[in-house]
Amino acid sequence: MSNYIDRLREQIGKTPIILVGASILARDDNGRVLLQYKCETGNWGLPGGTMRLGETIKETACRKLYEETGIKADNLKLTDIFSGEDFYDIDPDGDCTYNLIVLYEAFGVSDELISESEKSSLNVEYLYPEEVSNLELRSMKILNRIGIFSEDYIS
């Protein structure tokens, strides 16, 4: 988490805040979705994260895609924006957030994922979301709303 958010939390405690972030949808030629294993939650999810002060949301998407997967995309296309009660979250520390998530689809992505030691994710793979038993709820909701993941899988 950024120093900005840490400083904000020191001032306001667990009070809900609005966080702005980006998620990235990248697919291979077989239609599998690029997912990262998030060691802090023990779930698979779309690459993405929180915007830094002074950063554009597209810069956030590019930075998070590279930091978490080592991949650079030739082209990012704005796909959708998600917010509201469905994207309210309480993290393990009890911090409450309403998330505004901007989804970009990445095109011109290389097929080679970087080695484990070079990226911040424990694992990154192209997977069919419905075959992942521990897909995070936020990614399920995003993929469902854009027609990639069936509501039937959401409990």
- For 106-145, write each residue's pLDDT tens digit: 998 765 655 554 445 568 999 999 999 899 999 999 999 9
Alpha helices in the chain (DSSP H): 3-12, 57-69, 137-145
pLDDT at 117: 46
Instruction: Sketch the domain layout of the chain as residue ranges.
Output: 3-147
Residues 44-101 have pLDDT tens digits of: 999 999 999 999 999 999 999 999 888 888 799 999 999 999 999 998 889 999 999 9
Let me know if domain 3-147 sits in CATH 3.40.50.300.
Answer: no
CA distance 12 to 59: 28
Q: HEC string of 83-94?
A: CCHHHEEECCCC
Of 2-6, 16-20, 121-125, the poorest mean pLDDT is in 121-125
pLDDT at 149: 82
Query: Are residues 90 and 96 in contact, defined by beta-carbon separation less than 8 angstroms?
Result: yes
